């Protein structure tokens, strides 16, 4: 897949920007780290979780990680901490824990 | 050799016929008076299998423009159409279509905006969208509506342009009146518009792209707006080129600013849309009385052919600008303000007057055109007169 190097773009003349600011690369939102916006992070209690996948369906940022049809964790690079997963979980298996600086 | 085929068609039927000949990949539209009959006719062509178009019957104009954007981003030749409140409901998507440089064609049948609710013609809808980055073309009659719809496809898709184009013509007067329309053969139309090769396509799985990505502080929004403005400025020359190539197949000549009886004209009328006819009628009469009058008809409003207006108008004694919409709180209608700007810095500029007419379908009567000339002649004799006039206000009964 062609990659769009931001550095290269920065050095380009404005005329050579692709028409319609189209980026010749797909799935670029992966490079946009929205995890830094978070003040609360979801923590899943797998003792309570029944694997209903509601959290996966409701997460607006596709940040619930699923492997082999099972919820395995949260993609903290992209999770914005909106708390929707916690609110929707029918088992109250997700708690929102305040982010604190380490140490 | 040109074989002429003439049909009696309403403006909307003429446009529906043009759409049939264009055979777009996708049409997404929602009904609104006075646009509805375009889609009514076009959907019959679809139902009869006369076109290959995917007709998307959406639930609102907001969705019509959204579906059009999606279709165009997928690389489809896309056309939509609306009027008035419908165009207003498309507002936020209009900017997205132009920002993404998607060559969508929108046929806008001019109608007033509420309130009070009114279904008749004025230009408030398209004038409100003048800053949305769309090319805007005005038509005087059904023939022009037919021709410009075909031209719009080629203009929008030209590699140097790649911008959405809005065709505007007066509701009811043009859309619903039967007019003489000379049509081209299907082959001619297809040859003229050619095959559309999109720059990018969301359906091209071998070359995946991202369109409409977030561009924050530190991004390119500012640069990009500059590029977009340059693109619409440059489209003026391309528009004239396309008009010229259209003339070769149709023998109908168009200019980005249309001028008639201008060479020796001392008093020039400027107007867009169907009332050009009434003004032309009057100009002929004035000329027979020795008053040197001329007509400038608005073709391209966006981009605005600033230099051409300056060149055409600078030597006149007076310019009478007829606006079929208002800019509440500003000193006159949008066309007036635009032309005043074009004339700035001209040595001995003409006297310029603004006549607000036709709002909500109000007729512009011939004696009101006389009145505008009288006001102008008064000013030329040195009397002080107002710059902006609402010439069709109802009078108190005596
Ligand atoms: S907090 Fe919001 S963004 Fe994060 S995983 Fe839950 S639903 Fe998704
Ligand atoms: S919604 Fe709750 S129970 Fe369902 S999969 Fe997610 S964490 Fe488990």
Q: What string of pLDDT tens digits covers the 103 residues of chain A?
A: 456 666 666 665 666 677 887 888 888 888 889 999 999 999 999 999 999 999 999 999 999 999 999 999 999 999 999 999 999 999 999 999 999 866 4
Please give, rounded to a whole number of angstroms, the shortest distance from the CA of A24 to a CA of chain B.
4
Distance A54 CA to ligand 2 centre (A): 6
pTM of the model: 0.93
CB atoms within 10 A of CB B282: 20
Return the CATH number of the domain spanning residue range B259-390: 3.40.50.920
Q: Which residues lie below 8 Å from residue B178, measured CB to CB, with a gap of 6+? A: B8, B9, B10, B142
Residue A3 is predicted with a pLDDT of: 63
Which of B1-5, B70-74, B75-79 has the least mean pLDDT? B1-5
* pLDDT value of residue A19: 81
Domains B5-199+213-250 and B259-390 share a fold: yes
Q: Is the pLDDT of residue B219 over 80?
A: no
Q: What percentage of residues in chain B have a pLDDT greater than 70?
A: 99
Measured CA to CA, the distance from residue B125 to residue B110 in angstroms comes to: 7
The verdict on residue A15 lying in a domain is no
CB of A66 closer than 8 Å to CB of A52: no
Q: Residue B357: CB partners within 8 Å, gap ≥ 6? A: B275, B322, B323, B324, B364, B368, B391, B392
CATH code given to domain B5-199+213-250: 3.40.50.970
B257-260 and B293-298 strand pairing:
antiparallel
pLDDT for position B145? 98
Contact B210 A19 (CB under 8 A): no
Q: Classify each residue of B327-342 as buried b or exposed e, where b means 16 or more C-beta atoms within 10 Å of its C-beta.
A: beeeebbbbbebbbeb
Of the listed ligands, the closest to the CA of A89 is 2
**Please, which residues 189-228 of chain B have a Cβ atom closer than 8 Å to chain A?**
199-200, 207-211, 213-215, 220, 223-224, 226-227
The answer to whether the Cβ–Cβ distance between B215 and A20 falls below 8 Å is no
CA distance B225 to B249: 36
Closest Cβ–Cβ partner in B207, B215, B226 for A21 = B215
For residues B240-269, b (16+ Cβ closer than 10 Å) or e, as one string? bebbeebeeebeeebebbbbbbbeebebbb
pLDDT value, residue A103: 46
pLDDT band at B389 (very low <50, low <70, confident <90, very high): very high
Ligand 1 nearest-atom number relative to CA A82: 2
Instruction: Kindly state whether residue A45 falls inside one of the protein's structural domains.
Output: yes
Q: Does ligand 2 have an atom closer than 6 angstroms to the CB of A96?
A: no
Query: Which among B343, B354, B361 is positioned nearest to B320, based on CA atoms?
Result: B354
Choosing from A44, A54, A63 the residue with most ligand 1 atoms within 8 A of its CB, the one to mutate for a pocket test is A63
Are A20 and B162 in contact (CB < 8 Å)? yes
Task: Give the burial string for B50-61 (b: 16+ CB within 10 Å, else e).
Answer: ebebebbebeeb
pLDDT digits (tens, 9 = 90+) for B18-47: 999 999 999 999 999 999 999 999 999 999
Q: Could you tell me if residue A27 is inside a domain? A: no
Domain residue ranges in chain B:
5-199+213-250, 259-390
Is A49 near ligand 2, meaning CB less than 6 Å away?
yes
In the predicted structure, residue B138 carries a pLDDT above the cut 60: yes
B304 or A20, greater pLDDT: B304
* Number of independent structural domains in chain A: 1
pLDDT, chain B, mean: 96
Kindly state if the Cβ of A59 falls inside 6 Å of ligand 2.
no
CA distances in angstroms from B148 to B93, B144, B234, B254, B298, listed in the order given: 23, 6, 19, 10, 13
Q: In CATH, what number is assigned to the domain containing residue A69?
A: 3.30.70.20
Instruction: Answer yes or no: is A18 within a domain.
Output: no
The pLDDT, as a whole number, for residue B366 is: 97
Q: How far apart are CA B101 and CA B347, in angstroms?
A: 39
Tokens standing for B154? 């080629």
* CA of residue B145 relative to chain centroid, distance: 9
* Residue B126 near residue B329, CB atoms below 8 Å: no
Q: What is the span of the domain harbouring residue A43?
A: 33-103
Hey, whose CA ends up nearest to atom 6 of ligand 2? A55
SS3 call for B258: strand
């Amino acid at each position: 897949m062609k990659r769009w190097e931001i550095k290269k773009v920065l050095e380009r003349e404005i005329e050579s920007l692709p028409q319609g600011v189209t980026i010749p690369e797909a799935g670029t939102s992966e490079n946009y780290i929205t995890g830094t916006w978070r003040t609360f992070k979801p923590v899943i209690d797998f003792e309570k979780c029944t694997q209903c996948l509601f959290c996966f369906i409701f997460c607006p940022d596709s940040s619930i990680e699923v492997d082999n049809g099972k919820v395995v964790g949260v993609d903290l690079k992209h999770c914005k901490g909106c708390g929707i997963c916690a609110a929707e979980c029918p088992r109250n298996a997700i708690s929102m824990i305040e982010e604190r600086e380490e140490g | 050799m040109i074989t002429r085929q003439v049909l009696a068609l309403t403006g909307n039927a003429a446009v529906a016929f043009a759409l049939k000949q264009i055979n777009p990949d996708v049409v997404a539209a929602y009904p609104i008076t006075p646009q509805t009959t375009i889609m009514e006719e076009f959907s019959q062509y679809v139902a009869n299998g006369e076109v290959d178009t995917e007709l998307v019957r959406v639930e609102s104009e907001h969705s019509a423009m959204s579906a059009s954007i999606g279709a165009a981003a997928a690389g489809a030749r896309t056309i939509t159409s609306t009027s008035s409140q419908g165009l207003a409901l498309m507002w936020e998507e209009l900017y997205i279509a132009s920002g993404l440089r998607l060559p969508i064609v929108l046929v806008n049948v001019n109608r007033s905006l509420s309130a009070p609710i009114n279904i008749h013609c004025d230009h408030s809808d398209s004038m409100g969208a003048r800053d949305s980055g769309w090319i805007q073309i005005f038509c005087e009659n059904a023939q022009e509506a037919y021709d410009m719809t075909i031209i719009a496809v080629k203009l929008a898709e030209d590699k140097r342009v790649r911008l959405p184009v809005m065709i505007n013509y007066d509701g009811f007067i043009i859309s619903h009146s039967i007019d003489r329309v000379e049509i081209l053969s299907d082959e001619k139309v297809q040859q003229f518009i050619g095959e559309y090769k999109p720059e990018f396509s969301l359906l091209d799985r071998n070359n995946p792209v991202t369109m409409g990505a977030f561009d924050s502080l530190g991004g390119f929004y500012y640069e990009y707006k500059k590029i977009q403005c340059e693109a619409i400025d440059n489209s003026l020359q391309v528009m004239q080129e396309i008009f010229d190539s259209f003339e070769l197949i149709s023998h109908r000549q168009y200019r980005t600013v249309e001028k008639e009886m201008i060479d020796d004209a001392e008093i020039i009328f400027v107007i867009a849309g169907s009332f050009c006819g009434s003004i032309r009628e009057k100009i002929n009469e004035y000329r027979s009385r020795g008053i040197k009058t001329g007509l400038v008809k608005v073709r391209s409003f966006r981009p605005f052919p600033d230099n051409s207006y300056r060149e055409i108008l600078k030597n006149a004694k007076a310019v009478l600008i007829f606006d079929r919409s208002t800019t509440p709180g500003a000193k006159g209608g949008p066309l007036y303000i635009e032309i005043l700007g074009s004339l700035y810095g001209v040595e001995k500029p003409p006297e310029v007057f603004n006549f607000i007419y036709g709002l909500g379908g109000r007729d512009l009567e011939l004696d009101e055109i006389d009145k505008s000339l009288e006001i102008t002649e008064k000013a030329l004799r040195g009397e002080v007169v107002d710059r902006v006039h609402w010439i069709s206000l109802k009078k108190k009964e005596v």
